[in-house]
A and B are shown apart, each in its own frame.
Chain A
């Protein structure tokens, strides 16, 4: 395989990380918490799609929509039951709760769906096309296209719509946002809903590329996407996008040219170096402001 091949497949993997990282970063930006259960929502989304599409032969598009709906509801319920009661609690308590929710989801999956890997059928034909001598699989293209589309829609939503602007206001100052008449609880719910819906899409794309589905499928991509979000600047939407793509590319090139075994170590090593130089991440928001 050529360098370009590795680059394109890295971009595709990075697109999946970016979609997951968007969920991390939006929730962090607004609720100021790290939702470590986010990776497991990906896994749930992948299972739903697996059952709908592979098992019961539902139309692939509808299967994805169904997975998104389930994950959206799941995200809202998790926020209501686990995080909302802790709104005023110390962040360590929230963090531990999030880790607890993560294990809960994995164990429920184990209970319902067992640890036997499910073989996930890709939602689009497992074929490739040749672009100027470069062989690219459909799923690779799909991941990149979907990621860019999500990014455009999300950016427009945040910058142009009333609800999107309210989300930015809540992320900056909850008290002041309430004084504008913004319902902070609803805004936080919407953020979880969007993040979880995106997680479902990420789950489907991930399992279409790596078809081995188990209850822990979401863990590693979840951690890597979290890394990507920090890499790009946690809380920043363009940062999550950039961080995800870069992480995927670095991981793939490290696998190709250095070693498959230590590729993850290389990825995290790069992260540490970037954070030493730019502690707020690549596109981290400047916190300086005039008073």
Chain B
């Protein structure tokens, strides 16, 4: 590890992974495929993985580099449609199409990141809305992107790896988990290395960063490109492994806000927080749905139930922001510190 790596808490094993990370990885790669029901995989884990990855991409940009974006769903859409078209038109292996899709999303992210060289905060956020509307418009307007499909909804290709068709829920889950794990490790390496210093320096004090020679403009553009590339891959996972269709409608402003909430609820500039935030955003509405079905079934109509759910969800987010602005990650830190203290006391 480089000298820049942030101080490490907890034991590190010979592999360089901390114990909790190893536990989570072995649960994810071994226990879950053996035990999880198709429902859990399809309704919870697949969207969770795709949204976690999107959150990770946005956190790199917003949490680490301090650039607010409301265009995340646009870059998901770019990734999904680019992967679809590379697959359709080149016949390259799927992983190659995904890499090309990530590059496409990165380039488009770079272009929409250019205003960040001039704009800040609220104004930048508004300018990233341009990406959101432009991409959705282009994808609906030009049917070439959806291969001329009249509805604009197209079936995603089945993922094939070395002749192996990954169309079962477990297969898609493992594919998604592998990609998310690899990118998470990459992001960890980036943010704990010298580039992480640049990102946080730009976020914390742009003037000071500039005066000491941190390449501010380059750092912002790198953040936009990396972030959009990662979010692009998240879009591929969303379309190819979760929905199994590719369509512009799911990549709307609501989705962009959802990803922003994941980052805020989880905690800015924390990797594990992003996963916690995504977990909450995916699971909470399901729980709420169950609960309200149990409480109100037959009493009031389904539309009203949906509305109540949204209000409760919104209220929870607001409460959360007031009670713990540093997010779930901070809560976890406190809990584990308390736990460690208990263990020590015996």
* Real binding pair: no
